Amino acid sequence: MDGGRRLNRLDGELEPGAIFRLRGSPKRRRGTQRQRGRRGKRRRSDAPQRRAGGLLSCRPRGAERQESNEQQGNALHAERLPWHVALSTQVNYLQSVTALGHTPLRLSELLTPDRIRVPIRAQSKEGVLRELVELLVGGNGAVPDVLQAVMERERQFPTGIGYGVAVPHGKTPALANLVAVAGTARTPVPYETVDGEPVRLFFLLAGPESQAGAHVKALSRISRLVRREPIRARLLAASDSQDFYRILCDAERGGA
């Protein structure tokens, strides 16, 4: 009773521990009903200022920071996935936002011996990407635009899928159709990969946004092809672009 009278008389001006003695358990002090009412009024009075400052949603403060941290964590987790899972994750996401037809796509239809470089002369990641983009574009002057699209994709999510394979790709209006090139490097090229290993086997794709469906099919096809170690070994052992293309055609005829 003394504690109750003290609570009413002081109207919340309690000495430390008074609430604990009244309730008999060490819970956090919550304050009086009048205090809680005043806090509620302050929160409600703050709401217009928060809306005026640009926070028009009902998400709590710090939600954007939390989402950003979660996205970064997901990206780091994705980089640790096995190579075929990492690529399949990208393909599945693209399939979820792209209407795909049922026409099968073969890499041998996208590639020709003239679009294969064996060996790739560059020895750095940037050099390899530029060399492959120049091979892909030819002489139409779109190298800067295509290279920028590919490099931007690399900054978002590196395309080294592991086991010495990379599949750089990008979308750009500078190209009218989906185009692909491939190549092998004599010495491993340092590259951000899911397994930390450098890269020797490259497939590069680029095309307009309007052909996103074919883009996804090509990525899926590459994933199915290079997940088989004997095919990877044969492609890496190809003596020239003609040999690389023949091995690719044989692999696809064999059900790869």
DSSP per-residue string spanning 127-191:
HHHHHHHHHHHTTSS-HHHHHHHHHHHHHHS--EEETTEE--EEE-TT-SS-EEEEEEEEEEEP-
Torsion angle defined by CA atoms of residues 200, 203, 206 and 211, in that order, rounded to the nearest 10 degrees: -160
Q: Confirm whether 84 is a catalytic residue.
A: no
Active-site option among 77, 84, 102, 169:
169
Q: Which residue has the tokens 């040999």?
A: 243
Q: Quick one: tokens of 38?
A: 């005043």
Alpha-carbon gap, residue 219 to 167, rounded angstroms: 8
Q: Would you say how long the chain is, in residues? A: 256
CA distances from 247 to 104, 148, 227 (A): 19, 31, 15
Alpha-carbon gap, residue 254 to 256, rounded angstroms: 6
Active site members: 169
